[in-house]
Amino acid sequence: MRSLMAVAVLASITALAQTDTAPSSGAPLPAAPSSAASSTVTANNPAPIPLNLNAKVAAINIEQAIFASNEGQRDLQALGKKFEPKRTELNNRKAEVDALKKQQTAAGVTAEKKSELQRQVDQKQKQLERDAQDAQQDFNAQQSEIGQRILQKLGPVIMKYAQDNGLGMIVDTSSPWPNGPVLYSAPLDITKPIVDLYNIQSGVPAPPTAAAPSGSSGPAGSGVGTSRPATTPSTTKPPATQPKQ
């Protein structure tokens, strides 16, 4: 997910930068003049761009900005509802496996019957794990598509905010330390104002606050449809059942 977002942000930055600074022809940029060269500014010897040592630095949690936006919350809720039937199916199948396991411990069950029950448990459990993993991967892929689509429109909002506020650098804090390089950034965080600006631009109304996204509290068993909380940068959890090695 972070790789996709990094590509989208880079594309947005590149597009904006080319609008302002790209040369009008395909000719390469001139080399920096040597100390002995004339300081006269000409078409072939442009003045060097001064380094702004007073440029400000800000931080933004890209993942949080995407999924805390009204559009992100709305689409995650819709995605959770879409996967609700699959989540129910997988949990029903898990209950079936649990029932077979209980039969093995019932009084009076013969060794032959226990062996047959174990065979059924192994077969059903293995298929359940595979199907749960496939469903989780499908959910994650569609969730990433939502994030990528929103980010394509969020990128220009971030860049305009940076230009309007004289920001020289914006650091993405989606990966908290120690997985990411940023240890602390609270005073510099611009996630909320970016979300507010994007909500205004998108025109998407805020979803009902009383109802959590359908996928945020899926039954413990399949784990499918567990979506990102709209207010935290955590990642989607894997299914509770994993394929055997």
Residue 219 resides in a domain: yes
Distance CA 65, CA 190 (A): 9
pLDDT at 186: 87
Residue 37 resides in a domain: no
Instruction: Tell me the average pLDDT across 99-127.
Output: 92
Quote the domain boundaries for residue 98. 55-240
Highest mean pLDDT out of 51-65, 139-153, 198-212: 139-153
Instruction: Tell me the average pLDDT across 71-78.
Output: 96
pTM of the predicted model as reported, rounded to 2 decimal places: 0.64
Residue 127 resides in a domain: yes
Assigned token pair, 34: 């040597």
Residue 136 resides in a domain: yes
> Phi, psi (5° rounding) for residue 101?
-65, -35
Residue 10 resides in a domain: no
Count of residues making up the chain: 245
Residue 96 resides in a domain: yes
Q: Could you give the number of structural domains in the chain?
A: 1
Residue 174 resides in a domain: yes
Percent of the chain beyond pLDDT 70?
63
CA dihedral 90, 217, 65, 239 (to 10 degrees): -40
Residue 175 resides in a domain: yes
